[in-house]
Chain A
Amino acid sequence: MTTSEFTLQALRTTLLEGAGTDENVDLNGDIADTTFEDLGYESLAMLETVGRIEREYGIDLDEEEVALANTPRALIRLVNDRLSAAQSA
C-alpha cells in the first residue's frame, strides 16, 4: 500500500495503538518538536511504533536514521521522504 503523506495525526494514532500514552502527556497538544523521550516513549515503544508505520505504509526505514529522528517532526519527515522516494521509484 502506498499513501501519499504521513501526518502528525497518523503518528498520534499509531503511538496510541502501539504504545498508549502516559498519564501526564497530552498527545493532542503541540508535540511536533517534543522528544519522544519527553513524551514517555522509550526505545521499545519506538520500535513498536516504527514497525507499525513500516507495515502500514509498506516501507522500510533505516534503523540509524530512525534512531536520530527523536521528535515527531523528524520522524514524520523521515517517513515522508521514504514515501516519496518509493513513489517516484
Chain B
Amino acid sequence: MSARALVTGLGIVAPTGLGIEDYWSATLAGRSAIGRVTHFDPTPYPSRLAGQVSGFDAAEHLPSRLLPQTDRMTRLALVGADWAFEDAGVVPADLPTYDIGVITASHSGGFEFGQNELRALWSKGGQYVSAYQSFAWFYAVNSGQISIRSGLRGPSSVVVSDQAGGLDAVAQARRQIRKGTSMVISGAVDASICPWGWVAQMAGGRLSTSDDPERAYLPFDDRAAGHVPGEGGALLVVEDAGHAKRRAAPRVYGEIAGHASTVDPRPGSDRAPTLQNAIQLALADADMVADDIGVVFADAAGLPDLDRAEAEAITKVFGPRGVPVTAPKTTTGRLYSGAAPLDLAAAFLSMRDQVVPPTAASTPARSYEIDLVTGAPRPAELRSALVLARGHGGFNSAMVVRGADHAALRPVGKDIP
C-alpha cells in the first residue's frame, strides 16, 4: 500500500493568532506574543515570561457540556480540530465514522485541570474532586475528546515524546493513511501555563529567566540562555490523496513526504548525537536529497549546547549556509508538542506564499554556519521544507513536506520502502 498522505486542512491556535491568517500575518511580520505571564502571578518564580494565547473564550466555541470536563489545552485542541475540518471542507458526520482517525501528541496533559482538583482535594477533601479528573488531565484526552465531539472511530492514539511528539504523531497519521484510513486529524496542542505546569517546566532546567521579551528566547544567538514556554499548537487534516481527489478537496497544502525519528545516546556516551541521522533518514524516506529542501524550520532550543548540536546537524547535511533556516517559534515560545504541528502549518504556508518567515529577535552567532533568516520575511522558491523537533530525553524527529504543486506532480503509486 503506498497511499500518499496530503494535508488538506489546518486549524491554528497560536499565541500569535487564532486561525490561519491571523497567525500567518503575525508570523511574517515577526510580531511576538511573548510577554509577562498573566494566567497566574509569576512574581515568585524565576521565569516570568510566556507566549500566551489571548482572546480565546472557550464558551464562544464549545457547548457548556464540555467546559466542566476539559482542561484549557483540550478546549484549544477541540476548537483547532473544528477549524481544521472546516478549512478542509469536511463535515466529519457526513463521512463513515470508521474512516477518520485522530492522532495527537501530548507533552504534559491537562496540568491546570489537575492542579485545580489537587487544590480541591487538599483544601476541601476528596468529595470536592471532579469526577472528570479521571480523564481530563490525561495525555490521550485531546484525542479522546476530538474523537467524541466529531464522532471519529478510525485509528486513534496519542504519542508522547515531548516536543518531538508533534512530528511523531503526524508520522503515525501517515502510517494509518498508508494502511487504508481515509483521513486522520493530527497534530497537538499543549497548554500548561499554571503554577503546577510552570514548576514542572522549570524542573527541566531550560527556561529563560529574562524579563525582557525581546531577549528572553534567542536561539542560535550568542546570548541564548533558555527558552520561553508557550501554549497552543495546530491540528492538521491528513488525508489519503485518492480520497482528497474523489471528494474534490477545496485545497491541498501539500504532502507529508518523509519522516524519521531517532534517540540520542545516553548522556556521557562517546557516540555522536543523532539529529543528523534523523534528517538523512527523513530525506531518504521522502526519496529526496538535501538540495530539494528550500527551508528548514529548526527546533531552536535556545541553549548553546543544543543550538550547536542542531546547527552542526544541519550544516553536515546541507553544507555551511547551504539552506535557509528559520525559527518562527521565537514569537510564540516553545509550545512543546504543539510546536512542530504549528511549524508544519508554517511550512505549508511558506510554500503557498513562497516566502520564509523570519526568526524574531535572534542575531545569529558567528560560530554557527547556518543561514538563519532574521529581520524580515525572505522570498524564496520553495517546493519542500524540513521541520525539526527535539524532545527532552534525546528524542529527535525530522519531517519532510512537499508543497501542493510539487505534491501533485509526483507520480502516484511510487513504492514506499
Interface residues of A (CB under 8 A from B): 16-23, 40, 44-45, 47-48, 51, 54-55
Known: A54-B127, A55-B127, A55-B128. A16 touches B64 (CB 8 A): yes
Select one of B65, B131, B132 contacting A21, CB under 8 A. B65
A26 to chain B, nearest CB (A): 13
Are A47 and B131 in contact (CB-based, < 8 A)?
A: yes
Select one of B66, B67, B130 contacting A48, CB under 8 A. B130
Are B63 and A20 in contact (CB-based, < 8 A)?
A: yes
Residues of A within 8 A of B319 (CB): none
B303 to chain A, nearest CB (A): 42
A19 to B66, CA, bound (A): 8
Q: Is B242's CB within 8 Å of the partner chain A?
A: no
A43 to B82, CA, bound (A): 26
A54 to B93, CA, bound (A): 38
Can you list 18 A-B pairs with a CB-CB distance of less than 8 A?
A17-B68, A18-B130, A18-B131, A19-B65, A19-B68, A19-B69, A20-B63, A20-B64, A20-B66, A20-B69, A44-B132, A44-B134, A48-B130, A48-B131, A48-B132, A51-B127, A55-B127, A55-B128
Are B127 and A20 in contact (CB-based, < 8 A)?
A: no
Residues of A within 8 A of B134 (CB): 44
A21 to B63, CA, bound (A): 7
- In the complex, the number of residue pairs spanning A and B with C-beta atoms less than 8 Å apart equals 38
Are A48 and B68 in contact (CB-based, < 8 A)?
A: yes
Which residue of chain A has its CB nearest to the CB of B125? A55
A5 to B131, CA, bound (A): 25
A22 to B67, CA, bound (A): 11
A20 to B67, CA, bound (A): 7
Supplied contacts A17-B68, A20-B66, 18 more A-B pairs, CB within 8 Å: A18-B68, A18-B130, A19-B68, A20-B63, A20-B64, A20-B67, A21-B64, A21-B65, A22-B63, A22-B65, A44-B131, A44-B132, A45-B131, A47-B131, A48-B130, A51-B127, A54-B127, A55-B127
**Secondary structure at chain A's binding surface: helix, strand, loop or mixed?**
helix
Which residue of chain B has its CB nearest to the CB of A41? B65
Residues of A within 8 A of B67 (CB): 20
**Secondary structure at chain B's binding surface: helix, strand, loop or mixed?**
helix
Residues of B within 8 A of A16 (CB): 64
Report, as a range, how many residues of chain B touch the other chain: 10 to 19
Residues of B within 8 A of A47 (CB): 131
A51 to chain B, nearest CB (A): 6
Pairs A-B, 5 closest by C-beta atoms: A20-B64, A48-B131, A20-B65, A47-B131, A55-B127
Select one of A18, A23, A48, A54 contacting B63, CB under 8 A. A23
Which residue of chain B has its CB nearest to the CB of A17? B68
A40 to B64, CA, bound (A): 12
